[in-house]
Amino acid sequence: MPTIIDGYNLLGAVGIVGRGVGPGGLERSRLGLLNFLAESLEPGELPRTTVVFDAQNAPPGLPRVVKHRGITVRFAAEYEDADSLIEELIRTESAPRRLTVVSSDHRIQRAARRRKARPVDSDVWYAEVVRARGQRKQTAKSSSARPSVPLLQEDVEYWIRQFGGRSAIEKFIEKELADDRLNGNG
């Protein structure tokens, strides 16, 4: 599903851009957002994601359309503002019902609804992305853990022999339990 993101709107909604960010701060914020998206979206979503920024704050000499780790980044250079470019992208989308438009701007949301696209408030969409990212990480952790495999009786017997037989293991366990009791752990 293609996604168009109102870049500065999303930055504001998630609180990445604050006052007094200093020289280069806005550029660092944009880069931070783009890196977050690249690491958080499914790999298949990246080439179908477009982030639009107003052009007056674009880095000097930067082309108006760039790729960042698979994401299309557009600066609204020939437009009054990013909203105008986003409206045009919505208008020219060949399958608008499959389009997700991320912006809390009511103007953008109305344009999306007119074409039957799915408008999503920036903070709501961000929360969805963070939740999905956490679930993927949790799934990756649990799937990478070694599965529990029951031991065969002959394997158990082999290891018992390797450690000196049942009596040696029983003596070891008794000693450990006694040490624990002496140390106040048992």
Burial of 133 (0-12, 13-18, 19+ CB in 10 A): middle
Query: Which of the four pLDDT bands, split at 50, 70 and 90, describes residue 33?
Result: very high
3-state secondary structure labels for all residues of 37-85: HHHHCCCCCHHHEEEEEECCCCCCCCCCEEEECCEEEEEECCCCCHHHH
Let me know: does 99 contact 115? Beta carbons within 8 Å: yes
The pLDDT value recorded for residue 27 is 82
pLDDT tens track for 35-77: 999 999 999 999 999 999 998 766 677 788 999 999 999 999 8
Q: If you write DSSP's letter for every residue of 3-47 in order, what string do you get?
A: EEEEHHHHHHHHT---TT--TTHHHHHHHHHHHHHHHHS-TTTGG
pLDDT tens track for 75-107: 998 889 999 999 999 999 999 999 999 999 999
Distance from C-alpha of 175 to C-alpha of 28, rounded to nearest angstrom: 60
Distance from C-alpha of 44 to C-alpha of 141, rounded to nearest angstrom: 21
All residues at 6 or more sequence positions from 153 whose CB lies less than 8 Å from its CB, including other chains: none
User: 17 and 71 share a domain?
Assistant: yes
User: 18 and 44 share a domain?
Assistant: yes
pLDDT tens track for 110-141: 999 999 999 999 999 999 999 999 888 887 77
Number of domains making up the chain: 2
Assess whether pLDDT exceeds 60 at residue 168: yes
Hunting for tokens 């953008």 — which residue is that?
108
The pLDDT value recorded for residue 164 is 73
User: 8 and 59 share a domain?
Assistant: yes
> Percent of the chain, pLDDT > 70?
87
Identify whether 146 is part of a domain: no
More confident residue, 142 or 107: 107
User: 90 and 159 share a domain?
Assistant: no
Structural domain for 161, as ranges: 153-182
Assess whether pLDDT exceeds 70 at residue 2: yes
Considering only CA atoms, which of 107, 114, 129, 110 is closest in space to residue 3? 129
Identify whether 54 is part of a domain: yes
User: 118 and 163 share a domain?
Assistant: no
User: 158 and 137 share a domain?
Assistant: no
User: 131 and 165 share a domain?
Assistant: no
User: 172 and 125 share a domain?
Assistant: no
